[in-house]
């Protein structure tokens, strides 16, 4: 077997040999933006690390798997207010993803799984992989880490604690970072959300949404700097913990390994086409 789970660390001879065996390629993606005043801006770090752990476990379970270089810049949404943050327009990100898939498909590397760590990437991944499906009958699933972790959270810490600690700049990502990169958390900046109750004369209900009338909601073209200037929304990051993060990461890695197994078991080993 090659010496590393990272494609970037393989020599050309190792890569040529691995390609013949039709391994699974994980494509980690994330963002570089405000994750709360206490957390590193690069949530792509966590996506890449979890991808590495998935590759290690899947390979150990008999499904040869490698991690491509992470795409660190997420699809632009409402975090442009953050100094130093870098994002890609949706059209640029789509071009990047299309080109990544084109390069892999050229060499019949069709067993691809996206390990996604940013909501602003979801639409692009869906559209790009749907194009591959319609044209080549190849299924490339996307594993959106934080959405799945959010669903898992009540089972880890209970419904009440999950509700109090969940949101942007809170659980699940803050706990995951506390576990994976404890030295990158700044405890002195951990504090509860400090969000304006009203913007444009209406109650804030999200980064780009405001309440109006009796139960109504509107979407407005604002950025998080207008609605959630502290970067913390929905919960209290002080309730996050490395212990919670460790349990979430274990569950995500287990699910990711199952995704790899399913991809290999339900794709033709010669053509790469999906076996439905």
Provide the token pair at 128. 């790009």
Q: At 39, phi and psi to the nearest 5?
A: -115, 155
SS3 176: helix
Confidence of residue 2 (pLDDT cuts 50, 70, 90): low
- Has residue 166 got a pLDDT over 80? yes
- d(CA 202, CA 180) in angstroms, rounded, equals 39
Q: Are 153 and 249 in contact (CB under 8 A)?
A: no
Question: SS3 breakdown of the chain: % helix, strand, coil, rounded to 5?
Answer: 45, 15, 35
pTM of the entire predicted model: 0.96
Q: With contact defined as beta carbons under 8 Å apart, do 245 and 173 qualify?
A: no
Give pLDDT tens digits for 234-243.
899 999 999 9
Under the banding of pLDDT at 50, 70 and 90, the label for residue 94 is very high
- Which residues on neighbouring strands pair with residue 204, listed in sequence order? 210
What contacts 183, CB < 8 A, 6 or more positions away? none
Mean pLDDT (whole number) for 27-42: 97
CA 224 to chain centre: 19
pLDDT tens, residue by residue, 167-201: 999 999 999 999 999 999 999 999 887 777 899 99
Domains of the chain listed by start with CATH number: 7-166+242-265 (3.40.50.10310)
List the one residue out of 76, 64, 73 whose CA is nearest residue 26.
Answer: 64
């Amino acid at each position: 077997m090659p010496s590393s789970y990272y494609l970037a660390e393989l020599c050309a001879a190792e890569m040529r040999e691995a390609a013949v065996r039709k391994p699974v390629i994980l494509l980690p993606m994330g963002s570089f933006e405000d994750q709360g005043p206490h957390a590193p801006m690069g949530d792509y770090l966590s996506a890449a690390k979890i991808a590495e752990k998935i590759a290690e476990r899947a390979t150990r379970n008999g499904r040869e798997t490698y991690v491509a270089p992470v795409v660190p810049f997420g699809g632009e949404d409402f975090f442009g207010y953050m100094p130093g943050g870098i994002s890609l327009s949706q059209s640029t990100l789509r071009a990047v993803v299309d080109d990544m898939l084109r390069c892999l498909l050229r060499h019949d590397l069709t067993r691809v799984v996206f390990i996604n760590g940013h909501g602003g990437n979801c639409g692009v991944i869906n559209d790009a992989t749907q194009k591959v499906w319609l044209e080549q009958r190849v299924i490339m699933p996307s594993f959106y880490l934080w959405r799945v972790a959010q669903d898992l959270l009540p089972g880890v810490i209970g419904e009440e604690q999950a509700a109090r600690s969940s949101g942007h700049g809170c659980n699940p990502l803050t706990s995951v970072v506390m576990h994976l990169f404890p030295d990158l958390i700044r405890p002195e900046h951990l504090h509860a959300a400090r969000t304006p109750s009203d913007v444009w004369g209406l109650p804030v209900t999200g980064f780009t949404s405001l309440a109006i009338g009796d139960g109504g909601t509107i979407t407005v073209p604002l950025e998080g700097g207008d609605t959630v200037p502290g970067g913390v929304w929905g919960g209290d990051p002080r309730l996050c913990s490395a212990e919670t993060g460790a349990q979430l990461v274990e569950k995500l890695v287990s699910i990711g390994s199952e995704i790899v197994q399913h991809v290999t078991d339900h794709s033709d080993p010669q053509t790469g086409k999906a076996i439905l």
